[in-house]
Amino acid sequence: MWKWLHPYAKPERSYQLCQTLLPWFAVLGGLSLFVGTMWGLAFAPADYQQGDAFRIIYIHVPSAILSKSLYCTMAIAAFVGLVWQVKTAFMAMVAVAPVGAMVTFVSLITGAAWGKPMWGTWWEWDARMTSQLILLFLFVGVMSLYKSFEDAQQGGKAAGVMAMVGIINLPIIHYSVEWWNSLHQGATILKMGKPSMAPDMLWPLLLCIVSWVLVSSAIFLLRLQNEIVRREIKRPWVVELALQNSKQQAPNNMSTDRG
């Protein structure tokens, strides 16, 4: 059943797949991000209690949801790399870590900005906020541990173990508002039953979530391409690719010089 995945264990095939998917994710992500953000910030109705301050939800919620999804993706890539010794999986793990760290940082900053007018404080050491901060440290820890090894394969294994151990933090983040007393509100859209949001507010939020997934995927694909080339720099297919790119750029440079 999984035989169709086997060819993509080869870095060259993974690079080609990234090359094919990247323009689609980038274009669709950019358009949906613009439409969703403008829809939410400018045209969605104000909340009857929070007023216009609630509009930060269109940045905070997508980043908060995606931060956990990206960590789960990183942990799965680490598991595949450790169990089946697929070096491309370690490359994917390394490529997704900075994207996850960036998204998690945005969720913390926007959460603090939202908390100030609602709670009267920028930060509160409640369970949700603290566990989300730990998630950021885990992303940074995986990147730092990988970079601390001269051998990339050994660094990938060590970082992979850390990524897998850290996945225990994900259910803590998700259920923290139920397990402990928290200032943070409970689930709004990711809950059983009907979401507790008006459709005029919900649809732009859903579009923003999709757009963040697409844009983050595009950044991940670009980073994975770079990581593959960096790790495979001496391989014949990378040398051939570099020669092809130089040949394509040469006519453009000549036409520019003549102009």
- Domain borders along the chain are 12-187+198-243
Confidence of residue 252 (pLDDT cuts 50, 70, 90): low
Average pLDDT over residues 243-259: 65
Report which residue type is found at 150.
Answer: E
* Token pair belonging to 109: 């900053």
* More confident call, 211 vs 250: 211
Confidence of residue 162 (pLDDT cuts 50, 70, 90): very high
Return the residue matching tokens 């949801």: 65
Distance CA 92, CA 221 (A): 9
Closest CA to 67 of 209, 226, 188: 209
Dihedral angle, C-alpha 145, 146, 151, 156, nearest 10 ° = 120
Supply the DSSP symbol for 121.
S
The percent of residues in the chain predicted with pLDDT above 90, rounded, is 64
pLDDT greater than 50 at residue 87: yes
Sign of the torsion formed by the C-alpha atoms of 70, 75, 80 and 85: positive
pTM metric for this prediction: 0.90
In the prediction, which pLDDT does 63 show?
A: 97
Average pLDDT along the chain: 88
More confident residue, 201 or 242: 201
Is residue 216 predicted with pLDDT exceeding 50?
yes
Q: Is the pLDDT of residue 7 over 50?
A: yes
